[in-house]
Structure 1
Amino acid sequence: MFEKFKEWLVNTTTPTKRPTLDFTRRVVMISGHQYGVRMACDQDIQTLVEIEERIYGKAPWSYAAFQIELQRPHDRLYLVVEDDQQIVGFIGTAVDWYHYDLHITNIGITPSYQRKGIGTYLISTFKNYARHLKLHSMSLEVRVHNVSARKLYASLGFRDQHIKPRYYLDDHEDAVDMQANLLR
């Protein structure tokens, strides 16, 4: 029992034992259109908040929340997608080193760029990244009533795990916890 606790303690409290998460900037083709993909930085935060406002009416994540996330290079990685140097989408992830899980903390695509394959590209990229890190699963939460997102996640290998009652702070809607097994 002590050895298991010691392993947990080292994996969750010793950032020097964990690699800094990194991503090399690249140009990619998504549905026949060229986009730039790179790591998010502090200068992007206001744009990320604005994208969330366009999607939800009110940003679920504050400027400060994004700022805190971007300051955790050992267990957080955020990517942005650019069209002609304008950010049109992003994804945020958190590594749970103890459970070998990559959790999608948030994903947002500007409404005029939705349904163009950007979200699929980002999630698929992170599935490969998680496998590279030797993680066993990916997870996320999604609103129960967000049927189109749930269908997208299911098509990418995510399966419903359980309901998290009253999960969302704004309207107390339930969330579905979904997980994709990466060991197959």
Structure 2
Amino acid sequence: MREIEVRTFAKEDMQRLGELYHAVTANNDSVFWWVGEEENWPNVFVAIENKRIIGKGQVSVISTVPPGSPEERSHYIYFNLKVLPLREDDYPLYDLLYECLLNRAYELKETLPGSNRTIVGIGNQSTEGYNNNYFISKGFIYAKSLYTMRRDLCEKIEETILIEPYRYLGGALDSEERIEEYLAVDLEIWPDAPIGHKQLSDKQKNSSWTIFIVRENETLVGSIMAWIDEDGDGDGIIEDLFVRNSYRKQGIAKYLLSQALTYLKHHGCTSAELQVETANSSALSLYHSAGFKEVSEEVRYHREL
């Protein structure tokens, strides 16, 4: 192997990173994280050979659980490791980046509440065989699969009605109290992967981000987020659709989904995307009824850190 330099990402790497991105995503069958703002670059590592970026590794804290949470709940840190297609079976190259990712993950773990364990994971398209097998060789085991689903926004969006006593509020996270309420309900719905303050704050930085909330009196019963993928191809993104258990099967989820689709269409999007677990039959039924179709499958693997 020729001499390869592995180091943290720097500003002068941006153009060369674009070359790697286009090579890796040419067939739209790879999960590739963009590097984000400069404050995130200590979590990004590049492998350089002959002045060319031939691989990139990235690590991020995806979700955390607050102190005092049940001990079975976990913090989640995820990796994203990509190499040039011609090097996808070059496991010694993977090793160089993986070592950096693992060391950085341990550093990030030290910043998390120590009352709960930390899980490290990866998510790849099911077709990324060499990448998936590499992580399996490192002790990662299958966790779950998710479909990416897409809907054509040129097609008619069914109008839905919210029945009494529920009422709809748009963009209603306008105080710290409201944010804390939302995070508490999100934790209730997704105990294994709550969104947390940081992820919510990161999503809110998107200029087109909005949230739709349904309440019964003052009780938050359901919500959905939507924004435009400004770093990608301009698709509309839908995320974190939930309805609390005792309020389900009353048309609330369908109403929220309709609101989000209408918002994205009015903001110029021609399609909308979301992810859903392949085992979630009720959610799949809802999304199919709203015109969504599966376009790819992501497989996730994890292990304890």
TM-score range, shorter-chain basis? 0.5 to 0.7
RMSD: 2.7
Deviation track 1:28-87 (CA, whole Å, cap 9, x = no partner) reads: 951343313221324322222222232233442112221332343x13111221210221
Say whether 1:78 aligns with 2:211.
Answer: yes
**Residue matched to 1:34:** 166
**Residue matched to 2:202:** 68
CA distance in structure 1 between the aligned counterparts of 2:241 and 2:248, rounded to whole angstroms: 11
CA distance in structure 2 between the aligned counterparts of 1:67 and 1:116, rounded to whole angstroms: 30
Q: Percent identity?
A: 24
The equivalent position to 1:100 in structure 2, one of 228, 231, 234, is 234
CA distance in structure 1 between the aligned counterparts of 2:246 and 2:298, rounded to whole angstroms: 30
Does structure 2 retain, via aligned residues, the 8 Å contact 1:37–1:79? Answer: yes
Does structure 2 retain, via aligned residues, the 8 Å contact 1:77–1:93? Answer: yes
Query: CA 1:125–1:170 in 2, change beyond 3 Å: closer, same or farther?
Result: farther
Q: Aligned to 2:185, what secondary structure does the other structure show? A: helix
Does structure 2 retain, via aligned residues, the 8 Å contact 1:40–1:80? Answer: yes
The equivalent position to 1:54 in structure 2, one of 188, 191, 202, is 188
Give 5+ residue unaligned stretches, structure 2.
1-17, 19-159
Question: How far is the alpha carbon of 1:139 from its aligned partner?
Answer: 0.5
Report matched runs for 1:87-166 at 5 Å: 87-97=220-230, 99-166=233-300
Q: Aligned to 1:135, what secondary structure does the other structure show? A: coil
CA distance in structure 1 between the aligned counterparts of 2:233 and 2:195, rounded to whole angstroms: 25
Does structure 2 retain, via aligned residues, the 8 Å contact 1:36–1:83? Answer: no
Query: CA 1:170–1:108 in 2, change beyond 3 Å: closer, same or farther?
Result: farther
For the pair shown, which has the larger CA radius of gyration, 1 or 2? 2
TM-score by length of 2: 0.42
Query: CA 1:67–1:148 in 2, change beyond 3 Å: closer, same or farther?
Result: same
Does structure 2 retain, via aligned residues, the 8 Å contact 1:80–1:87? Answer: yes
Does structure 2 retain, via aligned residues, the 8 Å contact 1:45–1:67? Answer: no
TM-score by length of 1: 0.68
CA distance in structure 2 between the aligned counterparts of 1:79 and 1:89, rounded to whole angstroms: 8
Q: Report how many aligned residue pairs link the two structures.
A: 144
Does structure 1 retain, via aligned residues, the 8 Å contact 2:165–2:217? Answer: no
CA distance in structure 1 between the aligned counterparts of 2:172 and 2:274, rounded to whole angstroms: 20
